[in-house]
Every structure is written in structure tokens, then in C-alpha cells.
Structure 1
Amino acid sequence: MAGAGVIDEYVAALRCALRGPYGARRDLLAEARDGLLDAAEAYEAGGLPRAEAERRAIADFGTVDEIAPGFQRELAVSQGRRTAALLFLSVPLTAFLWAVIWRVFPEAARIEQVKPDWFGFLAKAVDLLQLGVGVVGGLTLLALGRGLRRIRRPALVTRRLGLFVWVQTPLVAAMGLTLAAAARGPVGFTTYPPGVAVSALSYLLAGSALFSAARCLRCTTAVAAPGETPGETRPSGGDRERFLSRW
């Protein structure tokens, strides 16, 4: 493993070209480096100098520009799965908690008032939208899992999920605050500990969803070529799996 300078430089350049979850990116790079080192050692055993053997291994594997799009596709899918799982689990949870809070909210803290005519419609819209977000998360998780082989452009699915979250999350937050202001409910009742706790959890999960969605957008544009649609990845010049299995 010593003296792998050319390969290490190649892997470092590949690392700089990629964006995505740290663990998935680390595993891809480790797999590529191990395969390149095995190939270089085979060439060296055949009589080539070490540096030339490493360059030959890299030539067989493909340049960074050829290989990075294929790697980036895998990272985009990984990030899409993470975001979809977060939506699938967190949105129904927060909706359930808020439903409980509104039911057990102390009667003494409620301020009787005539609610606007649009209150019921908006409340139902929030419920349906939150239900839809959970469904979208579940379907995306399924699509990027078992359905991955049937999807032609999975990175585009990840990108659209990221855009969806960036539209949906601020919209639901604005609608929720509007309802709370109109009903003077748990959000405005800062001395009610359960309401404060659920509010804090809601903000935390919403922030996490936005952050994860931003990473979806970053993953799908990191290696896009000029004139190429963000989220669409070109096929790599080298067959990575065949190369790795060869050595």
C-alpha cells in the first residue's frame, strides 16, 4: 500500500468533485482506491515501475471527469433516500403530536373567540398537505429503494424531492402560524410546556428537512456538465464494477 502517490492524488481529485453524504462518499472512494491499488500491484508484478503501474491502473479505471458522474448519481440517490425517510417518519409524527396538543390544551387557556370563516378550510388544508408530504416521502423512499432499477433518472427524483421540500415546508409553517394566531392556540401559549416542547420539535424537524433538501439540490448539481439538466447524470466512461471485479 506504500507509495501510492499517483492514486492518492487521483482519489483526492475525485473527492473534491463529489458532493453527498459523508459515509456514502467515504465508502465509494475507499472502494475505488482499493481497486486501483490492486490493479497497480498487478501491473507492478508484471514488471512496470510503481508510478507507471498506478498511471496504467487509473487509465483503465477512467478519468475523474468520466467517473465522477456515476459516483455522483449514487450519492444523489443516497441523499434522496435520507431525505425521503426523514419526511416519511417526521411529518406524520409532528402532525400526530399537534393533534394531541390541540385536544388536551387546557380549557382555561383557551380564549373564546369567533374564528374566521376560512379557519376550518385552512386547517383541513394543512392536515391534507402534511398527509401528502408523508405519502411523498414514502413513495420516494420506495422508488429509490426497490424501484431503483426501473427509474431512468433517479438523481432527478432526488432533485425534485429537494425542491418539493423547499416549497412545502415554508408553506406549511406559514399556514400553521396563521391558524395559531387566529385561534390563539398552543403556539401562542408560551407557558404551556407541552405546546412549547412540540413547537421546538416541529422547528427542529422542519429545519432538518430543509437542510437535507438543500443537500439533495447540491448533490444533483455537483457534477452536471454544461448544457446538462441538473439531476441528470451521464454514464461514466469506465465500467467501475467490471474494473473492480477484474482485480
Structure 2
Amino acid sequence: MASAGIIDDYVAELGRSLKGPRRPKLDLVTEARDSLFDTAEALEDGGLDRAEAELAAVEEFGPIGEIAPGYQEELSISAGRRLAALLFVSVPLTALMWSVIWQVFPTDPVDYATRPGWFVPVARSVDILQMLTGVLGAAALLALGRGLRRVRRPRLVTRGLAVFVWAMLPVMLTLCGALMYGSHGPAGLSEYPPGVGLALVSYGLMLAQLYGAARCLSITRRRPLTV
């Protein structure tokens, strides 16, 4: 396959116009490039010279301003699926890990008896929020998968999920911090070594969720596309 200046320039400009996960973006741009080359080669076989064939293929493919929004929608769907899958897996997993560690390494019964009255309601609130987050992740994963035919604006599903994560995680951090304080006092996890490693894992997953949500917000933000 011969190198092509016009097609390569077009594809490079298309790639610059798009924002999204690296691998899906590369796949979309590569697919567009291959399609353009196939069209150009067919036109060249029909009698056009290479430059004319490439120019005709690009014109037939369409202006970037018209093509890019469709590709960007695909990337927003891909990013939303990734965030939804992360929530669907990581949030229930985190809840399960903490439940197990409390059972395997129980705290002092005396400490449990002296916990403040707000401890149980806050713990239940954390459980409810974790369940809600996992359910929303599953719903978004379904909507951006098999449910795409019924979803008119999947970009808003991705963006809404990202906004939810940014709004919910600070609340979760506050509630979980309160539970740690209520369980172990000002010393926090320092008096409960089994929880230190799990806390690091939990915070790492939260950071991953925040990063994924930030990416989704950036990808779904309305902005002018290169024409």
C-alpha cells in the first residue's frame, strides 16, 4: 500500500479532533484510514492518478466537521462503559473486602460498645451508597451496551455517570472517615493494622474512579471540532 499525503493529513486531522480512550480512538482512526485507502485504490484502478484518487476518496468520506461528531460519540460510549464497569466491579468488591476483614479481624468488643450513637446510621448510609453506586454502574453498563438502541443520547449517560462519581466520592470519603474515627478514635487506622492495606486499596480504587470520571467529563464536553 503506497503512502498517501492527502489521506494521511486527513486522518491526522481527524485524530486531533477526537478525544477519548487511546485504544478505541486508535481503532476508529485506523478503520477510517483503511477505508480511505481502499476507496483511493479503487478509484486509482479506475483511471485516476494517486493524488486525484486520494482527494476524491477524502471528499467522498466527508468533511471532518461532519464525520468527527459520530466518532466522538463512539468514544464517549467507550469511556462510559469503562467507568461503568469499574464501578460495577470495584464498589461491591470494596464493600465485600471490608465486610470480610471486619469478620476475620474483629475489633475490641469494648471499643464496639463505646462507639457513638451516629455510628450505625452512618455505616448503613455507606452500605446504601455503595449498593446504589454498584447498581448505577450496572445500569449504565447495560445502557451503553445492549441498550444502545433505546438510548437516544448515550453521551449524557456517560456524562451523568461521571458527575455522579464526582458528587458521591467526597461524600463517601467523609462518611468512611467518620466511621474510622468512630471505631478507633483520633488514632484512626493506626490502631487497626489489618485495615491499613485495605484502606490503601480502597483509596486507590476511588482515585481510579475519579480519574475515569474526569476523563468522561472531558470527553463528553461540548467543544468546537476541527473543520
Q: Same fold (TM over 0.5)?
A: yes
Does residue 1:135 correspond to 2:135, yes or no?
A: yes
Change (3 A) 1:110 1:99: farther
- Identify unmatched segments of 5+ residues in structure 1: 227-247
Structure 1 counterpart of 2:71? 71
Letter in 2 for 1:41: E
The gaps in structure 2 that reach 5 residues or longer are: none
Deviations 1:87-114 (A, max 9, x none): 0000001011112222333545974663
How far the C-alpha of 1:192 sits from its partner, in A, is 4.3
**Per-residue deviation, residues 156-181 of structure 1 (Å, max 9, x unmatched):** 10010111111111210111001111
Q: Aligned partners of 1:195, 1:126: CA distance in 2, in Å? A: 17
Which one-letter code corresponds to 1:21 in the other structure? P
Contact 1:162 1:216 in 2 (8 A): yes
- 3-state SS in 2 of match to 1:13: helix
Between 1:188-197 and 1:65-74, the stretch displaced more is 188-197
Aligned-partner Cα distance in 2 for 1:189–1:205: 18
CA–CA separation in structure 2 for the residues paired with 1:47 and 1:77: 41
Structure 1 pair 110/51, CA: closer, same or farther in 2 (3 Å)? Answer: farther
Q: Scaled by the length of structure 1, what TM-score is found?
A: 0.85
Q: 2:39 aligned with 1:43, yes or no? A: no
The alignment of Structure 1 onto Structure 2 pairs a total of residues equal to 224
RMSD in angstroms over aligned alpha carbons?
Answer: 2.0
What is the distance in 2 between the residues matched to 1:69 and 1:91?
32
**2:56 aligned partner:** 56
Distance 1:38 1:181 in 2: 64
TM-score, scaled to structure 2: 0.92
How far did 1:191 drift? 5.9
Comparing 114-123 with 103-112, greater Cα deviation is found at 103-112
Partner of 2:168: 168
**Cα distance in structure 2, aligned partners of 1:82 and 1:105:** 33
Structure 1 CA distance, aligned partners of 2:162 and 2:198? 25
Q: CA 1:188/1:35 → structure 2, altered by over 3 Å: closer, same or farther?
A: same
1:47 shift after superposition = 1.8
Question: Which piece of structure 1 moves more, 46-55 or 83-92?
Answer: 46-55
Alpha-carbon shift at residue 193 of structure 1 (Å): 4.2
Alignment of 1:135-214 (within 5 A): 135-184=135-184, 188-190=188-190, 192-214=192-214
How much does 1:211 deviate? 0.6
Query: Aligned AA for 1:150?
Result: R
Say which SS state the counterpart of residue 188 (structure 1) adopts: helix
Tell me the distance in 2 between the aligned counterparts of 1:24 and 1:151.
Answer: 20
Structure 2 contact 86–209 (Cα < 8 Å) conserved:
yes
Structure whose residues are more often helix by fraction: 2
State the identity as a percent: 52
